[in-house]
Structure formats: structure tokens, C-alpha cells
Structure 1
């Protein structure tokens, strides 16, 4: 018994000694990368634990990291997208890791996660409380040099760099496909981490060194993602009564000592927080209330020009329509289904003002774009709500990937492709200035009762193109290479994303698989060769649901040729949406030629 207590106290002492001595991650500015040794970008994962009352559902975590719920659920071995998460639930978060130039000489490796500042947020609080030290406030300051950390504005967009690394060429040759980002905890050892991920101690040391300290980001080399176990249920310990009695006594003593230490630690942190609050100011609550009132006034002023075009709903109407925004009414993310005056609507809740989205939506009107019916601004919490038409058949993503019983026919898929292309052609060619959607993907394509497609979610859209931005947003697997690496915004980035959607329609596969590999990379490599080899490979690429239909493989090959043209690495050689619409509408007798010069839809050859 005395040995047990001594061992417990020694372990507890080491734990708290590490905790107090390491108040900040030793590597505070990020991790360097070298273009000559690694790829400029790669798909990887971060290990993340769901902690706190606001992180016990998949929707909030997917919103935090700007990825869809299925993209987290699949690698994390979750069977439900809506069930509550267990406290401390382990998850794999997919990341698009890039090597970024942060000043004239320094390149840092990280995934760009966009976050909107809320009341009470600081770089430190968001980095530690929300992202759980997967980044640091110092690195946030480096990546956002124009922002003043002590003067942040509610609703301001900030890039939080999530630490990550891409495997080197040598590591890839040695079957290291991922370097998983993991935050080293005070109770961790290198060996225990190796056991969790099915890696080895030597391989972890080779990548990270052997002087790893608490809160360091450790990059764990693995060939494939391990299967995460669900949290075990609480069970009764087995054993003899005498053994159980000794364990209970020892545990009681240990818990008592632990309680005393926790009280001391709590007092220390309370004292520290008090000092911090005094430095920030004693009137934080008054400031927040003032900011909220000012924010509502600014929002109303911003959307005043839209008041005569759209219906302005009261928040009480929307609460009643969605049963208080009940989770059972969630369509996807922060979009809820609601019934107003006997008619169904899709109600999108936004954290801050909707001016940019409203500004774009009020100048577009097309049958292949989801129609905005009205909006609401809640003066109590300064949230915005956009009320859209409700489309009965949900998203294209659901129909392709989550519906095993009713598979889309080839003709239905081709018609959907034409609908999407028509919608994109409209916003690219018939709006002044041109509109770039920036987030074309199957989950943003909705289907009405007749299975006709409409483009939704203009939250990331930009009016005007051929610009360069450091604010990279979008969805893994759909982002154009030039936008990811250089921040170039143009209509051709929508063309690239449309090409990925075409691949999903043809193959029935998702844009990114369970291992994080992008569908477009495989397709571009396979279908850029000679015609006969392409036809042979196409039969293994086509969705089984349409392979046995009466449609000819030649007809599918023509659409595949359009998709590959859309994926050309040089954006200037991608077709315009005008050419794509023309080609798709003539798909029965059109042969498209893929070459280094790009796509020429007017080259017609008899077969």
C-alpha cells in the first residue's frame, strides 16, 4: 500500500511540475518547411479531443475547422453525424497543409483555418480553449501581421494556422503517407504516443527529436490512419474483496491528495486570471454590450438597401418555425428547416452580418441558383438569419454518397451537371462585376422535387475576380491549386471545383477518400494519356450504379474529358463555363480533345 501511495504521489508531482513549468508551447512561432524537400501542399490530419460544453457535437467542430461532418466522422470511426460526442472524444480532423511564405525569407508549414472573432475572444483564448494548442497566439500574430491583438473587432476574420507537416520525398518512399499533428500532453511519453497511432518510438524521434515537452506539436509518421476506439463505458472493477478494499483505500488517499493539489492549482489560476482581467479592463461586460449594440446598428445600415427587396422576418417567427432552432431541424451545419405560414424554408444562422452575401444575392436571379426569400437580424445576440427556399431532395452530396437505395441515373447526373454549369455561367458572365462562388461542391448543390440542381451557399462568394488574397477559404478536395498556393481568385477556380463535381457524378466517389487522397489527383493522372488507355481505365472508374445502364462508355468518356479539362493545372487553359455548357448540351455527338492547349469544345469528330 505504501508503495502504491508513493508511486501515485511521485507521478502526480511530475505531472504538476510539468504543468506549471510549461505555460506556453516551446515552439511558439510555427514549424519551418522547405520547398525542395516537401510538397507545397498535402492532405493530412490533426488529432483533436472534443472538450468543453460547446464541442460535444460534430456540427460545432466541423464549423470550427471549416470541414463537413462526414469528413471528420469517417476517419474518426463515428457511425452517426448527429449523436452527441462523449467528453474527451478523440477525432481526426482533415487538414490541407501548405508551405507558406510569411516574410521575405521564412516559410512555415500550417493549415489555414478561418475563424470569426466573437465577444471576449483573444488570439490566446481561441488558440488554447478552442483549438487546444494546435496553434499558438504568437503564430497567429505572425500570420495576421495587419491585425492588432489588443484591438480585435467582433466579426473580424482571422487566420489561425494549425500546425502540420507534409512528408518528405524520403518519407513517402518509406511508406510514410501522413504526419499526424498531435499535441503532447503532460502525461504523455513518446512510447505511449507510438502505441496510440501504431507508429514506433524511433520514427517519432526521427521526425521530432527526443526533447519533446508538454504542449509541443508532435508529428506522428504513419502509413495509414489508425482506427480510433470509442470511449469505453464505465465498468465495475473485478477482483477479490480484499484487493478491491486496498484499491479503494489507496484511491481514496490519492484522490484526497489530488484534491488538495487541484485546490492549490485552482487558486493559482484564479489569481492569474484576476490579474489578467485587471490588465484588460474592469468594464468588459459594458464594452461587450456596447459592441453588440453598435454591431446591430452597423448591420442594419449595411442591409438597408435590401429592405425593399426581401421580407424582413422577426426572430420570434424563426424561433417558432424551427422549434427554437432545435437540433432535430438541422439540415446541415447551421442551416435549419422551418415552417412559416405552412410553407417550408431553409433558415441559415450566421455568426455575424450577412451584408456581403446579401449584396451578391440581391443582384442575381436565376433558376439554377437557390432563391433568397428574406432575412432577420436578432438584436439580442447580433446574429443574422437568411431565409431561403426549401428544396425537397436535399444536397447532391447526400444523393450520391449517403443514399444506397435510390441511385441517380446517368441521364439525371448529366442533367444536374448542365444545371450547375448554367448557374455558374450566369454568375460568371451575366453579373457586373463577375461573381466567383469560391465553394462549389456537392454539398452546396441542392435538388428540387424534379431533381433539378441549384447552387446554394454564397457565404464565401466574391464580387470581382483576378484578385490575390492571403485569406484562403474553401473545402478540401475542391480547392484550385493556384488559389491554394498563391491566393489567386478568378472564375477559373470555380471551373476547377466544377470539374471535381463532374468526377463525383461519374464515379460516385467522394472528392476526398478516407485516407485523405483527392479524387482529382487520381483522375488527372489516369485520364491525361492516350485515348485507348483512358477508355480501359474508365470502366474501373465509373460508378457501378450507371455502368450497366444503356448509356455508352463513349458518352461518359466525353464528360470525363470535360472534367479533366476543368482540372488543368494552368487556369488559363481551363475552359470557360460558356464552353462547358455548350459541350455538355452536345454531349451525345461531341468529342472533346484534351491537350496541352486545353479544351476546345468546337472540335467535333465522327466516331
Structure 2
């Protein structure tokens, strides 16, 4: 993990001073805003948390003019944003200020005894050079959260001493509709603009002024987040072309439009001037860093870190040439740990610190890590890991080379709640409910979507299984262990590796490597989430074959009856949405098609699962859906 050096802070401060006149008016009232407390929920029918909610967001230059970057920011797929936003082509570029509706899950989150519980959607953001809580809140997230709130929900991070690579939770303000006071299906989080009033906002979203006032009060404050209740999502007006044709001048009655266009041109000119100046600053900063600090890099513990540097140890000359070539690209991206640091953190790799396999838990400088011990062939995993960065993938923090025993150590973030396998198949006092299981499924699918669609070349994980899915403190899923991953698709190999019960038929028979093998394995994980069963039973029967045989009937009522018998017994103790359960089952069975070309793409899977998740939250006025599975 890289810590911001003094010149990083100076540049960040300078940029803040430069932008301060433009941002000051946007945050005057927000400085004391630490979030929106959850309503008193003594009656569970009043407010249903968690719930499906949306935020109104605008495409902005220079970084957020395409759905790929915006979807990465909110940890969603492009399709999940394009559908509610009325955008027909998710891959097309966006125009500045083009409106979007972004779906999120709103939860009631307990902070501490001082602040109580706050209503927000949990978005994890990785700190980049020159980031501050203030700038990310106001620029990246467009005031949908505030920096005081970010400080409250990240008590372990010091706002004035952020490190590059830190993961911070940005609480996106949201609210679930109160079923006793409104007939609304959704709440849309909207940031008030200076030209807004209650009437214009109501007209924009197709709702009544009274409903907005009932939820937010009569007074609106610029750049505050308000919540707009709607019975159905508005159809956003999207441009039909990338570059709109200018309207003829001189014969129009809309003089205000001409003034607006003139203001837009002036605003763009000012913005481009600022961006140009910032670009010059960045170039100067880069030159300063690369040229003046180049000597500083030389002679450092290249493979051992500062504490583990061994001087002119002759064994370094015998190191694997391929490994040296690959890790040389990683030096600026990851921390190079000293071997003695790892030894001290794990008490000499004592079994007491062993998590699973060859992964150890260790604390270095007050930070807990997962330390994976490997041989020299780790360069393939390093090569892939340096290309990926997503909230649903376990993050690589650094590495260490120890040539004496020809070992490599990969140092990952420590994920607190262990593997999904342990929650499903080992004895635990607490069991996963259906809402949590479905959220985990969506998280895994989003992680796969990222490596399948947002990396070039595409990455195939090749070992998706419940023991490689880790759950953080908020029970959000992260895909781990890229030791078998392959960069590039549609390859053929004679070396078949993987875990029995998860391996796709075409890979097992012909060695065909493609993203559809991950889809097959993911289908099996979905079956585990639904049934709680092991992938291979005591008699050697594989779970996916049993599922296909059980649910090959065409009659949906019979299929639903069999599903009730097949469910994890834990879930029979709760009220579950049958529509949601059946939806996930259909996705799982589709993933298991023996013909890989007939399996759904990961984009389709993410969309289908998000609809299943939405179905799980769609409750009628009495608090129960029209089709529920209740324990008898």
C-alpha cells in the first residue's frame, strides 16, 4: 500500500484551493450533515429495510462520460444502469450532464451510540492519488453523500492522512418508502440544484409536490440530498445522437434557451481552462516524480523491501528471469514487503496463524493481512492481479520474494468473515438468510462481470467455488484466489486443474478455457446458496447433475413444490419470496447447460439476479408479497 508523500498532499491542497470557489457554495449547509437517521421502526410494516432505491446522477467530464466508469464507481453492471436510464446501447459514450438512474440497495446501518443508525447504500471506493473525502463526495459522487458522513462511517481512516489504495465506504444517502404514509414503490435520491423548486422537481420525476414535501419538508437547500417518492420510475429523455445539432438562431421564441446555451458555452470554456491548467500541473508533477525521484528507487530492496534488503546477495542473480520481468511492472503498484516482516507477523508461519491451505493471517504496522505462500510460479497470478481492481475482488496489497527457499509471498487484504463455504457447510451459530444469500450472489456476479467484460484481454478465473468466495464485515462477497486464472479466452489446454464438482464438462473433456466455464461454476455456487448442500455428497453424486434431474419438469407448480423440498432447511424458518427463489433457480439451471454457447452471458446473469433481488424487496401493503414461501 502506498502512502501519500508530502508532495502528493501539496498537489492535492493546491487543486482544492483552485476549485474552492466553485465548490464552496455546494457544501455550505452540508458541513454538519452526517447523514439521515433511520426512522423509528417499531412496527416492521412501516419501513422495509433493506429496499431497492435509485439515485439521480449525471454524466460529467472528464472521467464519467461512459457507463463503464460510472458502473465501476457504483459497483454495478452497465446494463443495470442503462435499463432504468432508458439507454438502448450500454457501450455508447455519454454526453455531459446526461441523466442516469442508478439502482442501489438501501440499508439501515448502525454506526455507534452517538449517531445511531443511518440510512444509506454502502459503496466501497479505493483511494487514488490526490483524493480526499471532500473531493470524492462532491465531484465523483456529486454530493449524494457528504464528507462528514464519510468520516463517521470510516472511523479507522484519518481524513488528513489517507493512503493510496485505502478502501473507504462512501455512504450514498437513500431512504425506503414508509408504506403507512405513501403508496410509492421507490424513493429516488436527488441532489437539489440552485434553479430547482418543489414544482420543477415534481414535474421532472412525474410525482406530486405534496409527496415530496411530506418526505422532505417544505424548505429545500441547494446541494442537499432529498428523496423523491415515485410509484414508477420516470422515463428519462435521452439524446438520440452523440452530438446534437444546434437549433437555428434568430427565429426562435425561446430566448431563454439561447441564454442557457451561451451559459453552457461559457461554463465549458471555464471548465476546459481549469482542466488544461490541472493537466499542466499533473505533467509537471509527473516529471518531478519520475526524474528527481528516479535515483531514490535505485538501490532499494527491490525484492525484499526496505526491512528485508540483503545488499549484494548473490542468490538474487539466480532468480527466475520470467518472474523478475513480470514483477518489475508491479513495483509502483504494490508494497514490497520484507521477508522478516512476514516472519514476525506470523510468528515464523506458525500453524496458529494458518487460515486455509497455505494462507496465513498476520499483522504488520497495525494492519491485518492474509499472506499467501507460493513458489516462483506466482508471477502469473501477479500479472493478472495487477490488471484488476474491483470491490468484489479480494485486493492484493503487496508481495515479497524470498530466494533462499525459492518462495514468493502474496499479501492480500484480510476479509473478516471467512469463506462462503464455511457459512453454508460448517456448524455456525448464525446462518445466512435469503436476502443475504441473494446479495452475495449478486456480488459474485458483479466480480465476474468485471473480469469478463472490463479487462483486456478478458480474464477467466477457472476456480469459482464457495471456498474461494470471502465475506467481509458487511457480509459482502469478494472473489479470491486467482492462482489458476487465465488471461485470454477460447484457449485449449491439456493440463486440467480445478475442483471436482465445479469443473465444466467442456473443460474436463476437451480442455476448453472460456468465460462460460466460470458461468458453469457460478451456477453450482447458486445451487449451494439455494440448497445448502455440498457439491459432492457422501455417495459421490455431483450437485449439478442432481439439480438438473430434479428440476427438469416443465410444470412450474411442480417445480416450485420440488424447490420447497430441496431448499436449505434454514430458510424454511423465514419468509422468502418464491418469485425470487424461482428466479435464482432458473438462472442456476441456465448456467449449467452442457452446451457452453447456450449458457447466459455474465451481463444477462447480473441483470436477472438484480431483478430477483428487486422481487425480494417488492412487498405489498401488508408487508408480504403476493407469492411467499412460509415455513409450515
Query: Structure 1 length normalisation: TM-score?
Result: 0.50
Query: Structure 2 length normalisation: TM-score?
Result: 0.48
